[in-house]
Structure 1
Amino acid sequence: MLDACRAAGVSHIDTSNVYGNGRSEEIIGDWFARTPGARQDMVLATKAGITRSPDRRFNNDPDYLEASLDESLQRLGVDHVDLFYIHRYDRSHSPEEVAGTLKRLMDKGKTRAVGFSEIAPSTLRRAFAECPIAAVQSEYSLSTRAPELGLVQTCRALGTTLVAFSPVGRAFLTDAPFSFDKVQSLAFTKGNPRFMQPNYDANIAATDGFRALAADMGEPAAALAIAWLIAQGDRVLPIPGTKDLSHLAELIRGTEIDLSAEDLARIETVLPVGWAHGDRYNAAQWEGPERYC
């Protein structure tokens, strides 16, 4: 898959120390080691701040973050990353304190740029006053548009990139959304409000119109979802994930579509703001992300 991404011109890899308990980073590091030139072709991002301790789920202590980054660098087989995120902001520290820690990691050459994930615009502004914040990662798609209530605007004003994860709505915005049986087999979705009944059936029905529109336009639904995000401005970067080469091709196709004002209006008609049934997270999943609206 990584070879296919590189061949297609994909140049950004996003991972974390908790993905597969470090296994994701090891796979990427192995690929770099056996693929000459691959590291130079990629913007490499990783994250830290989520712990495996039931006593403290999030840790932004300076020593902890630096040790976590050092371990990530070892697994990745590199001496620095291009972007290091705080995966979850730990409210026992001020945004300024955490940004100061990130700046010190930059000064040490362990990362070229820094970012946060799932923070409020106010937290971003406070952190940015201490250290330039290159990126904020947040869920953003046609099914999750809360970032438009402040985060998109703040990122634009500061010159920060909004890195949009789950850009195809966890498969709802594709031509092959997860079946309800599949949903029940996945740890995240089986307890997520949007994938529980009756919300699941309502969300499938709501997105049927989007799939029909994409077909009418001659495009895969996933491609249209990616194209919509890109059309939200040059400070929005979608980061889809996939294990399937055909789906990868659909996602890449989305970067090639230039949507007109009429196209955007048609999309807005079939999926207006607030169409999704159910909250994007359950109570446990909301632990860590900052709500701001």
Structure 2
Amino acid sequence: MQKRQLGRDGPFVGAVALGTMNFVDTYGPAEDKESLRCMSESLEMGVNHLDTSNVYGMGRAEDLLAQFLKKNRDRVVLSSKAGITRNPDHPFDNSPEFLQKALEGSLRRLGTDHIDLYYLHRREAARPIETVMHTLLRFQQEGKIGAIGLSEIAPSTLERARSVAPVAAVQSEYSLWTRLPELGMLQATQQAGTAFVAFSPIGRGVFTTLPPDPAQFDKHDFRRIMPRFDQRNWPYNLARLKHFADYARDHGETPAALAIAWVLARAPHVIALPGTRRIEHMSENVRGASITLSPEQLAEIEAILPLGWAHGERYGEAMHRGPEQYC
């Protein structure tokens, strides 16, 4: 697989990474055996960057990942995150005490003495980002983390954070139906020498040969509360998605592979971060890293799914509280 650098001074990793949120019932029931197989076979395909968080399954994703790391730690660039509390009255905590406890918990669950890339999962708006960066910098100086990352922030926050220490990566949702990063974050990260890690590059599973049926979502599937999947918006979105699936088929590709190829074509510092527990799906994602889209194909895709085409907001009211808004 093609390689891309994880920050100006960071390691080169596969252009497609693997997220672990799907390992813990976020999109319905998950089996550990299936997830472990996906990690193992993905690594053999060149997917050497694995991403998790202390809140995925309240630590269960890290527990599962630890089983895989026992034999593969030296082959993996490991990322995790902290800053979300799951307390509705105080959903984000970037205090030194909270982050210290969260990091120690992640290290313990993952069975490792350091995390290669450690993200602030969500910014606590009332706390200056410069103060938080000093906390993360201390973790780095202690050898507990390698590089610092930030998730779902605005370009202005990246600018302030970099005044304290380098930021190796910014992680934000980015796909053919979520394109806010084009309004500043893609440009800011490229200028800063910061990797842009695009999570949900296949749009919560919509860029697939058989798009999901919201009526069949498991009761634990968090897409149930996302406006784009509700009965007001989904029929309009599905019509566009079918058009894109037809285009992919006509070009001998799957929608997932083409969606990944589109994300990677946006800029050379972009890394695609799909989340799946099925190796069959991950194989399609990895295929996307080998596709080179021509200018004509990019224009054709833009005509099918133009900027702003998706009906409904990406998050409901409660989930909108964390990501920083800009533009």
Under TM normalisation by the shorter chain, which class is it?
A: over 0.9
Q: Which deviates further from its counterpart, 215-224 or 181-190?
A: 181-190
Equivalent in the alignment of 2:138: 104
1:184 to partner: Cα distance: 6.2
Equivalent in the alignment of 1:6: 43
Match of 1:31 among 63, 68, 71: 68
Q: In structure 2, what is the Cα distance between the partners aligned to 1:67 and 1:170?
A: 31
Equivalent in the alignment of 2:13: none
Q: In structure 2, what is the Cα distance between the partners aligned to 1:232 and 1:160?
A: 15
**1:82 alignment partner, SS class:** strand
Match of 1:250 among 274, 277, 284: 284
- Cα distance, 1:185–1:201 mapped onto 2, change above 3 Å: farther
**2:228 alignment partner, SS class:** helix
1:198 to partner: Cα distance: 2.1
Equivalent in the alignment of 1:284: 318
Number of matched pairs: 290
**2:222 maps to 1:196:** no
Q: In structure 1, what is the Cα distance between the partners aligned to 2:280 and 2:114?
A: 32
Match of 1:227 among 261, 272, 275: 261
**2:132 maps to 1:95:** no
Q: In structure 2, what is the Cα distance between the partners aligned to 1:276 and 1:159?
A: 30
- For the 8 Å contact 1:141–1:169, the answer to whether it is kept is yes
- For the 8 Å contact 2:42–2:279, the answer to whether it is kept is no
- For the 8 Å contact 1:172–1:203, the answer to whether it is kept is no
**2:299 maps to 1:262:** no
Q: Which ranges in structure 1 are unaligned for 5 or more consecutive residues?
A: none
Q: Which has the higher contact order (CA 8 A, sep 6+)?
A: 2
1:186 to partner: Cα distance: 4.4
- For the 8 Å contact 1:136–1:163, the answer to whether it is kept is yes
Q: Which ranges in structure 2 are unaligned for 5 or more consecutive residues?
A: 1-37
**2:217 maps to 1:180:** no
CA RMSD of aligned residues (A): 1.1
1:233-244 matches, cutoff 5 A: 233-244=267-278
1:41 to partner: Cα distance: 1.1
Q: In structure 2, what is the Cα distance between the partners aligned to 1:185 and 1:228?
A: 32
1:78 to partner: Cα distance: 0.6
Q: In structure 2, what is the Cα distance between the partners aligned to 1:39 and 1:117?
A: 24
- For the 8 Å contact 1:210–1:271, the answer to whether it is kept is yes
**2:125 alignment partner, SS class:** coil
- For the 8 Å contact 1:102–1:114, the answer to whether it is kept is yes
- Deviation digits for residues 168-212 of structure 1 (CA, Å, limit 9, x no counterpart): 011121112111222363442112110011201110001111101
Q: In structure 2, what is the Cα distance between the partners aligned to 1:107 and 1:180?
A: 46
TM-score under structure 2 length normalisation: 0.87
**2:247 maps to 1:213:** yes
- For the 8 Å contact 1:183–1:195, the answer to whether it is kept is no
